[in-house]
Amino acid sequence: MNGNNDHRADYFGCYGQTTEDALGQLLWVVEQALMAHESGDYQALRAVITDSLAGKITPAGFQRAHETLAPELGRQVSKRLLGALNRGGNPRLLFVARYEGAQDDILISVTFSNHTYPPLIDELWIE
């Protein structure tokens, strides 16, 4: 392909004219969600997720997951952005993270709804 027809290797949706602009907005939201997950603060998580995702994550279910996973994982030691891709027209960011209590790397997948401002998370997987 010539330079005029190249598609970007990453995908950040409508959240910026440049990768840096988009990441400036999206990474802040990811940090808020991960801090809420680590601390067990459902209200903090609720502030950065869509109504659709909130319908799937009840406060009681979130608390049970926190009580199960938080002691196993411990605190996050590091996180690195692997890349971004298009998930049904929405930006999905993929990270690899290390937690003090986990021997293995942890994959974090965060999909944003392209139709929310400020950006809201529509899918969040920590595995």
pTM of the model: 0.88
Q: What is the pLDDT of residues 42-84, one digit of tens each?
A: 999 999 999 999 999 999 999 998 998 888 899 999 999 999 9
Q: Is residue 1 over pLDDT 50?
A: no
Confidence of residue 107 (pLDDT cuts 50, 70, 90): very high
Residue 78, C-beta contacts closer than 8 angstroms, at least 6 positions apart: 97, 98
Contact criterion met (CB below 8 Å) for 66 and 37: yes
Residues 69, 38: Cα–Cα separation, whole Å = 9
pLDDT for residue 9 is more than 80: no
Contact predicate 29/112, CB 8 Å: yes
Tell me which DSSP letter residue 41 carries. -
Q: What are 75's two structure tokens? A: 């605190």
**pLDDT in the model for residue 3:** 38
| Alpha carbons 114 and 74: distance in angstroms, whole number | 32
What the chain holds in terms of domains, given with CATH numbers, is 19-126 (3.10.450.590)
Strands 121-126, 90-99: pairing is: unpaired
